[in-house]
Amino acid sequence: MMTAHPPSFFTALLVSAALVSTPAAPAASARVTVRVENLLGQPVTGALVWVNVDAPSNAYADASGNALVTVTTGTNYLMVARHAGYGRAPALFPFIDQDTNITITLPVRTSLRIASYNMYGMSAWSDAKVKALARMLWTVQPDIVFAQETRTTTLALSVFQPRYLFGYTNAQSRDWGDIRNALVSIFPLQNVFSAGTAVMTRDLFGAEASLPGVGNTTLMSVHYKALKDASSAATRDIEALFTAGYCSNLNAQAKFFMLGGDMNDDVGDPTWLSHVHQILTNYNTGLRRLEPRDDAGNPATYTSFSYTSRLDYIYLNQAFLPYVQAAGVARTDTMTNRPVWLRPTSSNLASDHSMIYADIALVPEPACGVLLLLILLRRRVLPLLCC
């Protein structure tokens, strides 16, 4: 390796006297073939391949499991492969200096990863923020995101998702101007709805998706009224009551459902004054709250209060509860095995809220039928027997 030395005074004179500059040589490019295969070494046709979070190159794997992208040589590139029918493989970060072949092996899908993420659309979406947001998503690789504060302008969700979550689908509320609730999913979304606009600050935004194991599931994203004053707290309670009523109806029909959002109510801090969490777990909603923690054991998710407030939550229909494997808060400043492409400040740069996520084991199909039967018995037969 050559050691660079500062130019001498004589060299500087020669350069300045030439009055011309030599144009830099164009950066060399490399062809990278990413092969996506399963544990048997078989190609995963149609896999989603994401390369280079700074300037994404996306592709579908062909019938041979190969996706070809071209990048500039001389640096490391973040790489991810996803497929709805397979589990997650850790992201790669190889150094590319020539044409190369890279293999990503996707494991058998044994779980779903869901996340709730306030993307801080209230702030300007700078280039640095967008890339930090994408790095967080490429690292965690959620299958479903219950999103809040997504934008309709300045890199709208309709642009962000195809660029940074290529191959996913998105649905975005039409309520509340430029900053809206949304869903992003590796599974196709259908039957999109917006409810509660007459009583809620934003809306109860949802859609249905067919999930492995359980089949049709209702997914809902909410963002309740902010601030700690009594009036805002009363509004949050009204919003929670509407959500509870909606979920009670789904529960009565023995349907599967999930709820994620920025509730703006810390379950452990009475100074928020509202009763959101008591409401959501009563009124026969069938909802159960998850308890994610960061790697230091802290449940807080909101950076603006120096991580003293927990405002973001995931609630599951009780049928899913026995299958929850893990739940976490994606904070890079407390991450014990932080990957090299993330910095301690990455999660704070991405948003003023930390992403929360949960892994849910696939419900075996026979067990799925039993769960539905139990819910029906609990909701309909048992009351009759008690009369």
Q: Provide the residue type at 23 as one letter.
A: P
CATH class of 111-372: alpha beta
Which phi and psi (to 5°) does residue 325 adopt?
Answer: -95, -35
Q: Where are the domains of the chain?
A: 29-105, 111-372
**Cβ pair 331, 300 in contact under 8 A:** no
Measured CA to CA, the distance from residue 139 to residue 340 in angstroms comes to: 11
What predicted TM-score, i.e. pTM, was given to this entire model? 0.88
* Superfamily of domain covering 29-105: Carboxypeptidase-like, regulatory domain (2.60.40.1120)
Q: Is the dihedral of CA 58, 346, 89, 218 positive or negative?
A: negative
Strand partners, 102: 34
Tens digit of each residue's pLDDT (9 = 90 or more) over 160-211: 999 999 999 999 998 777 789 999 999 999 999 999 999 999 999 999 999 9
Percent residues over pLDDT 70 in the chain = 87
Q: In tens digits, what is the pLDDT along the chain, a chain of 387 residues?
A: 334 444 433 333 333 333 344 455 557 999 999 999 999 999 999 999 999 999 999 999 999 999 999 999 999 999 999 999 999 999 999 999 999 999 999 999 999 999 999 999 876 788 999 999 999 999 999 999 999 999 888 778 999 999 999 999 999 998 777 789 999 999 999 999 999 999 999 999 999 999 998 999 999 999 999 999 999 999 999 999 999 999 999 999 999 999 999 999 999 999 999 999 999 999 899 999 999 999 999 999 998 878 899 999 999 999 999 999 999 999 999 999 999 999 999 999 999 999 999 999 998 765 555 555 555 555 444 333 332
Radius of gyration of the chain (CA): 24
